[in-house]
Amino acid sequence: MSLQQQYRAKSMSAARAVSNIPSGAHIAMGMAVAEPPALLKAIAERVEAGDLNDLKLWYFHSMAHAGETLLKPALLDRVRPHCMFLSGIERTLLREAAEEGPPPVEFVPVAFSESPGLLKDKVPLDTFITTVSPMDRHGWFTFGTSNDYSSTAARSAKRLIVEVNENMPRVFGESLLHISEVDAIVDNDVPLAEQICPPISAEEQKIAAIIADMIDDRACLQMGIGTLPSAVCALLEDRKDLGIHSELMTPALARLAQCGAVTNQAKTTYHGRSVFTFAMGDRAFYDFLDDNPAMHSAPVDIVNDPRHVSKNDNVVSVNATLQINLGGACNSEHLLGRQYSGAGGQLDFVRGATASKGGKSIIACRSTAKGGTVSRIVPTLDGPVTTPRNDTHIVVTEYGFADLKGKSLSERAEALIALAHPNFRAELMDALH
């Protein structure tokens, strides 16, 4: 058959595409912007009709489409989420269910870099569903905004169902998917989910200025999610020959490429190209990604591998945390007695940047939380260690920065207390002694 004949033969309604998923199946979905809304709705309708039970749903970072379908509270007696990175959707579900019995979401601790291997080797995936960009004349789709674990899960699941959306950017790199690999195709041209960065606080602006001063020409950037990394990027437009090797591609990083600050000419790997594994932003950002050979998408087990990250010189990794203890250990995922997010790729890039020649791993946070009533620098962490004290390099708050490498525990404590809000320094000093 010709490629177009293959396409027509595999094209069907969302309801028909998901009709063979059995009860008890393990399924995985594309994360974030790649959530396939028509397929999620069709599966949810089968669950609501009593036709599908005991589903195990595997994923990172859910967004609205999942929250409105398979992650609706009414379905969670028949759908068991296995989430590797909590978003606001799971936080709401856990908070609302806190007094009603067992948690409705299974949190699965795993580094982002290890998620493809987990889904391939540890989970008997029956079906993978995701959104892809339209097929080209040679029969190739791309994974668009989400390569991450998707390119692996798509090939390890027994069944691959794709939702083709003309709004999904066609990306370069290791993101190709041939029609011969696909079991079913659903066309659904709807607007992509957009992530709009909220206004930055005064404290974060101070932190961003401190971090920007540490980033020189020819640095290779990894920026985490949120307002702070965006604020840092806004202060780097006068730099020269910056590079990008980041798990997340954002509009703020894209603007550095558009203004000429990013050229990727100083990079050792993927010379001349900005590397990422997933992307989130607005419509203009997706248009920038589309058909852009300077943007290189690769699986997360490549992008986040510390050994691969460290091949570039002058890697600067910027990530946020929730708490830092006086020894320098960071809790970046647990808050108020509950799982808040996940480890993601933080430790991957902390280690990759530290091992890079001239590299800097920067962990940043505001000095306080809850309107200034709680210190983020604490004697003892309230949750798990996301970045161990052995790995923490540079810590930044609005009161300055501390390079912890080579410092003893007492020296670290004194340096970190100096970064705490003045209202808490006395009690932290008392805890130290």
Residues whose CB is less than 8 angstroms from the CB of residue 268 and which lie 6 or more positions away in sequence, other chains included: 311, 312, 313
> In the predicted model, is pLDDT for residue 151 greater than 90?
yes
- In a domain, residue 174? The reply is yes
- In a domain, residue 196? The reply is no
- In a domain, residue 195? The reply is no
Same domain, 139 and 251: no
- In a domain, residue 281? The reply is yes
> In the predicted model, is pLDDT for residue 214 greater than 80?
yes
Supply the pLDDT for residue 1. Answer: 86
CATH of the domain at 36: 3.40.1080.10
> In the predicted model, is pLDDT for residue 98 greater than 90?
no
Supply the pLDDT for residue 90. Answer: 95
CATH of the domain at 408: 3.40.1080.20
Supply the pLDDT for residue 96. Answer: 84
Same domain, 227 and 350: yes
CB atoms inside a 10 Å sphere around CB 284: 10
Task: Read off the pLDDT band of 150 (50, 70, 90).
Answer: very high
Supply the pLDDT for residue 69. Answer: 98
pTM > 0.75: yes or no: yes
Supply the pLDDT for residue 99. Answer: 67
* Average pLDDT of the chain, as a whole number: 96
Same domain, 147 and 16: yes
CB 332 within 8 A of CB 291: no
Supply the pLDDT for residue 196. Answer: 83
Determine the Cα angle at 153 with ends 67 and 193, to 5°. Answer: 35
CB atoms inside a 10 Å sphere around CB 103: 16
Same domain, 309 and 369: yes
Same domain, 178 and 282: no
Instruction: Measure the CA–CA gap between 375 and 326, rounded to whole angstroms.
Output: 12
Give the whole-number percent of the chain exceeding pLDDT 90. Answer: 93
Same domain, 145 and 213: no
Q: What is the pLDDT of residues 43-82, one digit of tens each?
A: 999 999 999 999 999 999 999 999 999 999 999 999 999 9
| Domain's final residue, options 124, 157, 187 | 187
Supply the pLDDT for residue 226. Answer: 82
| Token output for 147 | 């390569």
DSSP bridge partners of 176: 142
Supply the pLDDT for residue 336. Answer: 79
CB atoms inside a 10 Å sphere around CB 54: 13
Strand runs (DSSP E) across 303-419, as ranges? 315-320, 323-325, 330-331, 334-335, 338-339, 360-364, 368-369, 374-375, 377-378, 394-397, 400-403
Q: What is the dihedral of CA 320, 323, 329, 333, to 10 degrees?
A: -70
Beta strands 360-364 and 220-223, pairing class: unpaired
Same domain, 106 and 214: no
Q: What is the dihedral of CA 265, 271, 273, 277, to 10 degrees?
A: -130
User: Mapping DSSP to helix (H, G, I), strand (E, B) and coil, where does residue 59 land?
Assistant: strand
Instruction: Measure the CA–CA gap between 239 and 236, rounded to whole angstroms.
Output: 6
Q: Give the torsion sign (CA, 337, 341, 344, 348).
A: negative
Mean pLDDT, residues 187-208 taken together: 93
CB 295 within 8 A of CB 170: no
Supply the pLDDT for residue 198. Answer: 84
By annotation, the residues acting in catalysis are: 247
Supply the pLDDT for residue 393. Answer: 98
Residue range(s) defining the domain that contains residue 423 = 202-432
Q: What is the pLDDT of residues 269-313, one digit of tens each?
A: 999 999 999 999 999 999 999 999 999 999 999 999 999 999 999
| Domain's final residue, options 152, 187, 222 | 187
Judged by average pLDDT, the poorest of 96-105, 115-124, 290-299 is 96-105
